[in-house]
Structures are given as structure tokens and as C-alpha cells.
Chain A
Amino acid sequence: MSDIHKPCACSPDKGVSRRSFLRTSTVLASGVAALAASLAPLRELTDYTSIEQFMQKYYKEMTPQEMEKVLERITREVEQHYKIRPHVKDYKPMDGVEFVYCLNLTRCIGCRKCVHACVAENNQSQNPEIQYIRVLKLPHGSLDMEKGDHNYAPSSVPEKGFFYMPVQCQQCKNPPCVKVCPVKATWQESDGITVVDYDWCIGCRYCEAACPYFARRFNFTKPSIPKERLNPNMSYLGNRPRKQGVMEKCHFCIQRTRAGKYPACLEVCPTGARKFGNILDPESEVSYILRTKRVFIQLKEELGTSPRFFYYFDV
């Protein structure tokens, strides 16, 4: 801009001539027009952060009343966008509960039903696809992840000579993703679930890089969920719809498991390969498995992440 005004400064004694004023104004007007035209796509922006959300406090510092307001805002926003009134709740961890997941590699047939039940339960974007679970097809007699294939598409599973290994968030006891978050938008709760506050996440993707299990997903674009496939039973730290630019991950179906139910991936598994429960309860299924079965790995246990997700064999 200073360049434009320079010519006028060369004749300060004469003042600004009419011609020079007009010429300068024309340049300025066309400049403003170009600027305005370049900013036009901003008009299409719809899901900008509301002032309410911008002023929202950190999750752990919110009083129950403040949380109530936040849940109201989320309900309003979801209703506006999807025309469905959701039940949004902030489920808290239960006392004396620590969740553990066990997956029976003998039984998994690689049908990927868990992947899609998870998408449906947890309101993940369906275009582009965001999926928390990846099923790896591995040749028998090896556990080399490099040989894993997640794009298999035969006419029928299981295929001879292969076994299948679904990988999702391992809910580590020592989670590297939590350590790297610069804004503490992700943390481990007392029942062992590592959660993400989508309103606090700045989208730096450090956690995605830190996770050795490829368990975290980033919303590169605005997530798209068909209205008829929206699950209206939502939780603040769980499956409420996300925005563009935030991370998300498996949270053991917080809205189900903290209400005493089994996760969606477990209920849909046709073979019953997935088992879930409270490890602090000696009567639970997972306690039985860890006591009596050949629990052979925590995936990549040499990294010291100490997963709460166990793979085991039947025989």
C-alpha cells in the first residue's frame, strides 16, 4: 500500500490533485475487489467455532453446571445439523473398574463386521472413511506386521493358511500419545480409557505420530455421516460428531461401556472372538482369560506401552 501512495508524496507542496486522487482510488478499489473476491469461499464456511465453544473451559475444570451448558450446546448443534435430537451425556468412569479387552486370534475369521459396527456406533465419517479398527491378514506361523495385509477381499473368509488380527486403540497403561499432546486434549481416565476432548484438540497430529499402533485418526475434512445412520446416543468424550481438524480414536464405546454394556465391536462379532470386561473383578470373563488362557501378546510389548488389549489363543 505504501508504494501506491508514494507518487502522491512526491509533490507535497501542491496537495493532492483531482486526477491523482481518482487514479489512486481506482487502484485501491480494484485491490479491495480482488481481496473480497479471494475471500468469497469463506461464505461457504458453516461449522466455525461458536463464541460459546471458544470460551469453553478445560474439561477437567468444568463444573457440572458448566458441563450441562456445553451438553446443551452440543445437542443444539447436532439437532441443527442432522435434524435429530440426540441424548448427549458426559459419562464418568465407575469406581473400581478398569477395562481390559481380550481378542481370541483362534476364533477371528476376518469378516470385518467389527469395523463397520464401530463406524455405525461411534458416528465416524463415512466419506472420507474413518475407521478405528484395522483387520490385518497374516500368514500362519508368523507375527510379522510387515507381512500384514489390510486390503484383502476374497469371496469368503477365513482363507486357508492365514489368520486375522484386528488392531485398534490398545488403551495403553503408558500411552505415548498422551505424553506428546501439547495442550493436554487427550488423557487417560481412571478406568483405563484414553479419551480425546474434541473441543480442546488443536489438530497438531503429534499423537497420531506417537502412536505405535496406528490407532488415531485425523479429520482432514468435514466428516460426513448420513442422517439416517447417526447414532443419537452420544457422549461428550465419545461418539458425538467431530469437526474438521481434530483427532479421534477408539474409546471402548464409552457411551455403552460406562453404562454397563458391551462395546459394539464385541456384540457384532459372529464368532465371539472379542471379550471385554473389568479386570479388577476376578469373576469377569477377561480375568478368566488372563488366568487360564494362552495370552500370548500385548502387541509390540517391547515398546513398554503396556496395552490393556490382549491377544490370546484357544488351544
Chain B
Amino acid sequence: MKGSSKESLVLTGLTLAFLGLTAAFVFDLWGRIPARESLPLVDASFTNTATVRLSAGELIRSDGDASGLDCYACHERGKPLKLQFDAENNVILSKEHSDIVVGHGRHKRNNNCFNCHDETNLEVLQTRDGHQVKLVDSSVLCGSCHGPTYRDWEAGVHGRTSGYWMRDLGEIDRKVCTSCHDPHSPAFPGRPPAPGPRSLHPIAKASIERAH
């Protein structure tokens, strides 16, 4: 008799334990792994392959507003231009040209518009040795001073490329100097960086936040 009551005690205990477990599993008493916090998608501007600016040639081809290239809409043909400089030897720009930032080189020797523009014909450029260069062919003018960079660019090593590395399968798309550099202020501008790696781990996250 004693054996039988012990047996029923064990069986009842087991049944209760199993039912308890069932309830625990069904109602997730241990809790689920919390859902991951959603991360904002990276802005599409960071995956955009466009260059930072458009060259004169690209502006004309893309049917953009090329009115800024039409010098004689305002200037008078054949009338010589006189440049004016302030006390610090900076060129004084008229308000029509106030969008131009003069900053070519870390010195002030390149403050003269006619180092590159031709004073007799404003629609063309001139090299220092007197050759006239069309606005859309400005890379040759750039190369007349920046020799090593021009050499690298010709070899496809300086500047942006896209398209096909294998020329048999398709065209390579080369950019010209002014697709990336503003000729009046050619240093490559700074830009906001894309978001860095985002960690989901609380300890790593805390250390990133501490770093900022």
C-alpha cells in the first residue's frame, strides 16, 4: 500500500510538472528574444554615382542651364576688361560673378582671371604659352600647369572612371577635370560622411557613443 501511494505521488508530481512546462512554453514565460530595433535605411545620395559637379561639356549635353557660359550676353565684344584688386591683392568681382570663389592654389598668384581666360575672347581659354583652348576642352589647359596629374589622368589613373574595365565588352566612361574640380577653387570640397557601422550589441554601442 505504501509503495502504491508513493507511486501515485510521483506520477501526480510528474503530471503537474509537465503541465506547468506546457503552460510555460505556450505563454512564453521565458520571454522571446526581443525584436531587433529597426535601423533607418541609408540615404540614397550615398549610393549615387554622380560626380560632385558638372563640367561645361556635361552641362551643355544634359540641356542644363548653360546661360552662364554665354559671356557676350552681358559683356561687350571687343571692349577690353580692366580687373580691379583690393588692398590685399584679391581680385574684386562684380556682383554678376559673385558666385565665383577665387581660390585656385594656396597662394594668391592665381588671382588674375586672365591667367586662364582669354581677355580678347571671353568665350575661350588660353594657356600661358598663348594657345587658345575651347571651354569644353579645358582639361588641356589644366594639364599645361598640372603635368604629372594630367599624365596620370590620361592613363586613367587620376580621377573618376566608370563603365567597363574590359574595353572589348563596353565603353569606359571618363570624366574631365571640371567634372569634379571647380576650376576657380579646385580643391576637392569636404562632405558629410555616410553613417558608420551600427552595432546591435549594447556594449559595442555604448563604446561607440562614448567615442563621440
Query: A residues bordering B, Cβ < 8 Å?
Result: 4, 7, 10, 23-24, 26-27, 30-31, 33-34, 36-38, 40, 94, 109-113, 115-117, 119-120, 126-129, 131, 134, 149-158, 221, 226, 229, 257, 259-262, 266-272, 275-278, 284-285, 288-289, 293, 314
Q: Which residues of A contact B190 (CB under 8 A)?
A: 109, 156-158
Query: Which residues on the A side are within 8 Å of B159 (C-beta)?
Result: 272
Contacts of B52 in A (CB 8 A): 270
B67 within 8 A of A: no
Contact in complex: A38, B25 (CB < 8 Å) = yes
Known: A30-B19, A127-B38, A288-B155. A152 touches B193 (CB 8 A): yes
Give the residues in chain B near A131, CB-CB below 8 Å. 197
Minimum CB–CB distance for B186 against chain A, Å: 13
Q: Which of B10-18, B96-104, B107-115, B119-127 is the contact stretch?
A: B10-18
Q: Is B47 among interface residues, defined by CB-CB distance under 8 A?
A: yes
**Cβ contact within 8 Å between B196 and A112:** yes
Nearest 10 interchain pairs by C-beta: A260-B169, A37-B25, A260-B166, A30-B18, A112-B194, A34-B21, A156-B190, A7-B7, A272-B160, A267-B162
Tell me which residues across on chain A come within 8 A of B84, comparing CB atoms. none
Shortest beta-carbon distance from A308 to chain B in Å? 14
Interface status of B74 (Cβ within 8 A of chain A): no
List chain A residues, Cβ under 8 A from B22: 30, 33-34, 36-37
A151 to B10, CA, bound (A): 59
Chain B nearest CB from A287 CB (Å) reads: 10
Instruction: Check B83 for interface membership: any CB of A closer than 8 A.
Output: no
Chain B residues with CB below 8 A from A119, complex form = 42
Residues in B with CB closer than 8 Å to A120 are: 47
Say yes or no: B42 contacts A27, CB within 8 Å. Answer: no
Q: How close is A263's CB to chain B, nearest CB, in angstroms?
A: 9
How far does the alpha carbon of A248 sit from the alpha carbon of B212 in the complex, in Å? Answer: 30
Other-chain residue from B47, B152, B158, B196 in contact with A113 (beta carbon distance below 8 A): B47
A38 to chain B, nearest CB (A): 5
- Check B197–A134 contact: CB distance below 8 A: yes
Contact in complex: A157, B191 (CB < 8 Å): yes
Which residues in chain B, 14-46, are within 8 Å of chain A measured between CB atoms? 14-15, 18-19, 21-22, 24-26, 36, 38-39, 41-42, 46
Collect the chain B residues with CB atoms within 8 Å of residue A314's CB: 152, 158
Which chain A residue has the least Cβ–Cβ distance from B189? A156
Number of interface residues of B (CB under 8 A): 57
CB neighbors of A among B66-90 (8 A): none
* Residues of chain B contacted by A289 (CB below 8 angstroms): 157
In the assembled complex, B129 has its CB within 8 A of some CB on chain A: no
Report the minimum CB–CB distance from A101 to chain B (whole Å). Answer: 11
Residues of A within 8 A of B51 (CB): 270
**Quick check: B157 and A111 within 8 Å, CB to CB?**
no
User: Within the assembled complex, what's the spacing in Å between the Cα atoms of A33 and B15?
Assistant: 10
Q: Is B18 a contact partner of A33 (Cβ separation < 8 A)?
A: yes
Within the complex, what minimum Cβ distance (angstroms) separates B149 from chain A?
A: 8
Contact B163–A262 (Cβ < 8 Å): yes
- Choose from B169, B196, B200 the contact partner of A151 (Cβ within 8 Å): B196
Any A CB within 8 A of the CB of B185:
no
How long is the Cα–Cα vector from A151 to B210 in the complex, in angstroms? 11
Q: Does B131 contact A (CB under 8 A)?
A: no
Interface centre among A7, A24, A158 (most CB of B within 10 A): A7
Partner of B18, one of A27, A157, A293: A27
Contact A112 B46 (CB under 8 A): yes
CB pair B14 A27 closer than 8 Å: yes
A120 to B26, CA, bound (A): 40
Verify B188–A115 contact, CB threshold 8 A. Answer: no
- Chain B residues, CB < 8 A from A259: 169
Measured CB to CB, the nearest residue on chain B to A131 is B197
Q: List 12 A-B contacts (CB under 8 A).
A: A23-B11, A31-B14, A31-B18, A37-B22, A38-B21, A116-B42, A221-B36, A257-B165, A267-B49, A271-B180, A272-B161, A285-B155
